[in-house]
Amino acid sequence: MNTATRPDGFNPETDLILERYIDVPVEKVWAAWTDPELLVQWFTPAPWSTASVELDLKPGGKFNSVMRSPEGQLFPNRGCLLEIVPGRKLVFTGSLTEGFRPAKLTLSPGHECAELLMTAVVTLEPKGTGTRYVAWALHPDAENCKRHAEMGFEHGWGAALDQLVALMKTE
């Protein structure tokens, strides 16, 4: 992605970004992000899956999910919604929990995601019959950013987006 399209404040040392045009209308992409029944169907890249999602769509509202490994192990993730611009922008973090309470990080053995601190900004822009989709992961330092990149940010977030697209084309 060229720097002209990067969000204001983007820092290549601490931030990762996925930008694509997808052939799904903004309204459907927004629904996929904000309806827990839809989120569980696409949010975690296969062969992992999402066991459950709790979402309270307001600033300070919860954004909790439970990921399931291919072996069936469950990994809860608690988060907080920071900003909601209906149909256009969703900002959430795992650094806070519901009500903007600081998160107590619990490290799960063998699960490096538990150590990963980040805030995610997802923006949607109508483009023809589709959507310009931007997912921006902000990390507190270069080490967290590097670890997220090495865990497969681009592949994982891209695979999840592919799952979103496939699901919404059937809805």
Residue 45 domain-assigned (yes or no): yes
Instruction: Taking the CA atoms of 103, 107, 108 and 111 in sequence, report the sign of the dihedral they define.
Output: positive
Q: What is the pLDDT of residues 43-60, one digit of tens each?
A: 999 999 999 999 999 999
Give the distance, in angstroms, between the CA of residue 9 and the centroid of all CA atoms in the same chain: 19
Residue 4 domain-assigned (yes or no): no
Q: What is the pLDDT of residues 110-146, one digit of tens each?
A: 544 445 789 999 999 999 999 999 999 999 999 999 9
Residue 131 domain-assigned (yes or no): yes
Q: How far apart are CA 132 and CA 25, in angstroms?
A: 10
**Which structural domain, as residue segments, surrounds residue 117?**
14-170
CATH number at residue 30: 3.30.530.20
Please answer whether residues 123 and 18 qualify as being in contact, where contact means their C-beta atoms are separated by less than 8 angstroms.
Answer: no
Residue 134 domain-assigned (yes or no): yes
Residue 8 domain-assigned (yes or no): no
Residue 6 domain-assigned (yes or no): no
C-alpha torsion 75→47→121→29, nearest 10:
-120
Residue 5 domain-assigned (yes or no): no
Residue 1 domain-assigned (yes or no): no
